[in-house]
A = this chain, B = another copy of it.
Amino acid sequence: MNNNVTLLPEEEIVLRHGKVKALMKCQGIDFALIADNATIYYLTGRVYAGFVGLYADENIPVQYFVRRPVGLTGEGLTYIRKPEDIPALLLTDKIESVGLEFDCQAYSSCLRLMKVFAGKNPVNVSGVIRKVRSVKTAFELGLLRRSGIIHTNVYERIPSLYQDGMTDLEFQIEIERESRLKGCLGQFRISGGSMELFMANILVGDNADNPTPYDFAMGGAGQDPSLPVGANGTVLKPGVSVMVDCNGNYTGYMTDMTRVFSIGKLTDLAYKAHECSIHICRVLEEQGKPGIEAKELYNKAVEIAEASGLSDYFMGHKQKAGFVGHGIGIEINEGPVLAPRSKDVLESGNVIAIEPKFVIPGVGAVGIENSYVVSEDGLVRLTHAPEEIICL
């Protein structure tokens, strides 16, 4: 085991920390104290219990304050028992404003840190982190490509897992197993405590029209009222669509992909909507370049669905999702967001999932989802499974 507190190549560490420091400087944040697992992983290449301390000043080295695990080593590392131990370890005269993760740390935790840094100006560093993490480095893109390849391999195996008479849950469990055997970590990292999903959302027939409390593109009643999303025990019968949106976390970085299967033949409307989804992807792939506003892509998708007479089914039927795409990476809900009021502008290195989906009453959900890297030439796809509806 490598016990160094940073597991990434040195130049990658320098690059990531430099990006954060530059944006902190722009926003007048002298020092940031990071406690969120996903961002500690971003800044070090590992998860530990504790904090990363970054000064905006690039001449002051990054500090790693660790509670657990025991046995880590490396420059800048100090073991602490509690956050109150930190100020004595800092150049506090260099710090006027302290950036804390207001958007993801609990109120009590932030309040405690504010007391630790009494006299300093506490500011929200969450926006800086979100912005930096939304533009992937070449190293990160390598991990995302790797996830995309394995994710694709798993999807190509899905038809072989089907047996006549299965329920959605039984089918899902075989897909989960296949994913795990191919290296899926299972863990579905998502920002914000209110989002929950286990491993995959598999929607069969009219269960796709059951609204969910969660802010996902699609719903489903789920197995139990304690987790009301996804498969609900529906038997796979001729004439229904089977939408598979399964966890693509093979490397700590997640790709997001959805494909649709059918039992026998679906209605013409279902095929038309599915083709429309593919068409939307093709159009957005062309238009999705650095500098374009994320909301423009959303509006384009809505416009195409409307022009095809499919608005009633687009992004849900009884309940509609308010976006057609979202950034992905260490977490499944990163920036930029493709939504009507999004202020995000696409940048080279963004990685986004686009998921123009439809719910057709009596049939189920259709449409695809792919993950893409934003490049100067448009979107470069990371998820390569066949896009047509495959009859099981």
A interface vs B, CB < 8 Å? 1, 7, 35-37, 41, 45-50, 67-71, 100-111, 124, 126, 169-170, 173-174, 176-177, 180-181, 183, 185-187, 189, 192-194, 196, 198-199, 210-215, 219, 221, 223-228, 251-252, 318-319, 330
Contacts and interface: CB of A to CB of B under 8 A. Distances in A.
A251 B228 contact: no
Contacts of A7: 225
23 contacts: A36-B193, A46-B226, A47-B213, A47-B227, A50-B213, A68-B213, A71-B211, A104-B106, A105-B107, A106-B106, A106-B107, A107-B107, A107-B109, A107-B110, A108-B126, A173-B177, A173-B180, A176-B177, A185-B224, A185-B226, A185-B227, A226-B251, A226-B330
B252 A225 contact: yes
A108 B104 CA distance: 8
Contact of A226 (B35, B41, B103, B198): B41
Contacts of A169: 180
A210 to B, nearest CB: 7
Secondary structure of the A side of the interface?
A: loop
Closest 3 CB pairs between A and B? A226-B252, A69-B211, A186-B198
Contacts of A193: 36-37, 104-106, 193
A30 B67 CA distance: 38
Given A48-B213, A71-B211, A193-B104, A180 B185 contact: no
A342 B351 CA distance: 45
A122 to B, nearest CB: 9
B194 A198 contact: no
Contacts of A219: 69
B215 A49 contact: yes
Contacts of A170: 181
Given A103-B107, A104-B106, A226-B330, 6 more contacts: A46-B226, A50-B213, A69-B210, A173-B177, A186-B198, A187-B227
